[in-house]
Amino acid sequence: MDDEILKKYKKAGEILKEARNLGLKMIKPGAKILDVVEAVENKILSLGGEFAFPVNISINQNAAHDTADINDSRTFEEGDLIKLDIGVHVDGYIADSAKTVSLNSGKEDLIKASETALEEALKMMRPGVKVYEVSEVIEDTIRSMGFNPIINLTGHGLDRYELHARFEFPNIKNAIDYELKEGDVFAIEPFSTDGSGKVTETNKILIYRYLSDRPVRFPESRKILELTREKYHGLPFAKRWLLKEIKISPIKLNLILRQLSQNGSLYEYPVLKEVQNGFVAQAEHTVVVGDNPIITTA
């Protein structure tokens, strides 16, 4: 990997760590989700980073893709299990990391399962190791601690302006025999649950991603496509961001987003929930493969 590119990956990781620390300090009973999300995102911008995706805060049975809505009034409650998932990029080079916080949920062992699986996986991110070998360690670690890995959520490769590049890193045993190469970059993210080990889509959608320009009716639709293609570089974006950029009512915005999704202009990210309402914990770091792996977000 070119030294300048590595510097950008590292800078993205440093920015993410500062923003993550701020968010973790703010998560407490009674705090508003919207306040935490906006504080973390503002911190990223103030440090010279950009968003690889909206700050995700997924609580209890929700595993991923939840963020603050427009004028979101939700607060953290005693007993919550909270996943804080952050993505930062510098010139397109991405850092992606998540940590789970327990507000006296009684699920600390569940958190430990995902964190231990991540630790064991990161030790293996060296040239010559195959994907299936890392996945086997993740699954075996989580199951040995009495929990289930989530079978349909995976770690993933990272590339410039590409959040989910080749290859996937399943949290369960598989036959992916890709051999890790020096300089490969991956986000490794074990999910553990006391449920059945699978997530399903809900009808709540707060995050989208640009796919392609299609014929549209409203001038606001064209503005959204231009914005999400050019400013957000085709990376995932939050619905609430658009109100800061475009003069439009929330009702009309919902209508336009639905139409743009239906015609193939935008991709939707529904909130994902464990199918048996099991609690979910997540741990994630970004790592550059090498004889001494570089964990940019640790």
Catalytic residue from among 50, 189, 194, 274: 189
Residue pLDDT, tens place only, 119-177: 999 999 999 999 999 999 999 999 999 999 999 999 999 999 999 998 899 999 999 99
Please give the Cα distance from 278 to 275 (Å, whole number): 7
Hey, where are the domains in the chain? 3-201+273-295, 202-272
Phi, psi of 162 (to 5 degrees): -130, 105
In which region does residue 165 sit, left (phi positive, over 0), alpha (psi from -120 to 50) or beta (all else)?
beta
Residue pLDDT, tens place only, 71-92: 999 999 999 999 999 999 999 9
pLDDT at 1: 86
Phi, psi of 169 (to 5 degrees): -120, 85
Catalytic residue from among 50, 66, 96, 194: 96
Residue pLDDT, tens place only, 246-270: 999 999 999 999 999 999 999 999 9
pLDDT at 229: 95
Catalytic residue from among 164, 233, 245, 268: 164
pLDDT at 39: 98
How much is the mean pLDDT over the chain?
97
Alpha-helical (H) ranges within the chain are 3-26, 33-46, 108-122, 131-144, 219-230, 239-245, 250-262
Catalytic residue from among 156, 184, 194, 220: 156
| CATH architecture assignment, domain 3-201+273-295 | Alpha-Beta Complex (3.90)
Q: What average pLDDT does the segment 67-72 reach?
A: 95
Burial of 78 (0-12, 13-18, 19+ CB in 10 A): exposed
Indicate the angle between helix axes 219-230 and 250-262, nearest 10 degrees: 70
Residue pLDDT, tens place only, 106-119: 999 999 999 999 99
User: Is omega for the bond preceding 237 within 30 degrees of 0, making it cis?
Assistant: no
Q: DSSP of 184-222, one letter per residue?
A: -EEEE--EEESS-S-EEEEEEEEEEEE------SSHHHH
182 among known catalytic residues: no
Sign of the four-CA dihedral 63, 69, 74, 75: positive
Counted residue by residue, the chain has a size of: 298
Burial of 147 (0-12, 13-18, 19+ CB in 10 A): buried
108 among known catalytic residues: no
85 among known catalytic residues: yes
Res. 293 pLDDT band, cuts 50 70 90: very high
DSSP character at residue 234: T
User: For residues 137 and 124, is the Cβ–Cβ distance under 8 A?
Assistant: yes
**CA within 13 Å, CB half, 245:** 19
Please give the Cα distance from 199 to 153 (Å, whole number): 8
Please give the Cα distance from 117 to 137 (Å, whole number): 7
Please give the Cα distance from 159 to 286 (Å, whole number): 12
- pLDDT surpasses 90 at 22: yes
Percent of the chain surpassing pLDDT 70: 100
Residue pLDDT, tens place only, 179-215: 999 999 999 999 999 999 999 999 999 999 999 999 9
226 among known catalytic residues: no
User: For residues 275 and 198, is the Cβ–Cβ distance under 8 A?
Assistant: yes
Catalytic residue from among 80, 194, 220, 284: 284
119 among known catalytic residues: no
Q: What average pLDDT does the segment 217-244 reach?
A: 94
pLDDT at 166: 85
Catalytic residue from among 85, 184, 194, 274: 85
109 among known catalytic residues: no
Q: How big is the CA angle at 164 (ends 21 and 39), to the nearest 5 degrees?
A: 25
SS3 content of the chain, % helix, strand, coil (to 5): 35, 30, 35
Q: What average pLDDT does the segment 1-13 reach?
A: 96
* CATH no., domain 202-272: 1.10.10.10
**To which H or E segment does residue 175 belong?**
none
Please give the Cα distance from 199 to 164 (Å, whole number): 18
Please give the Cα distance from 93 to 155 (Å, whole number): 17
- pLDDT surpasses 90 at 217: no
pLDDT at 226: 95
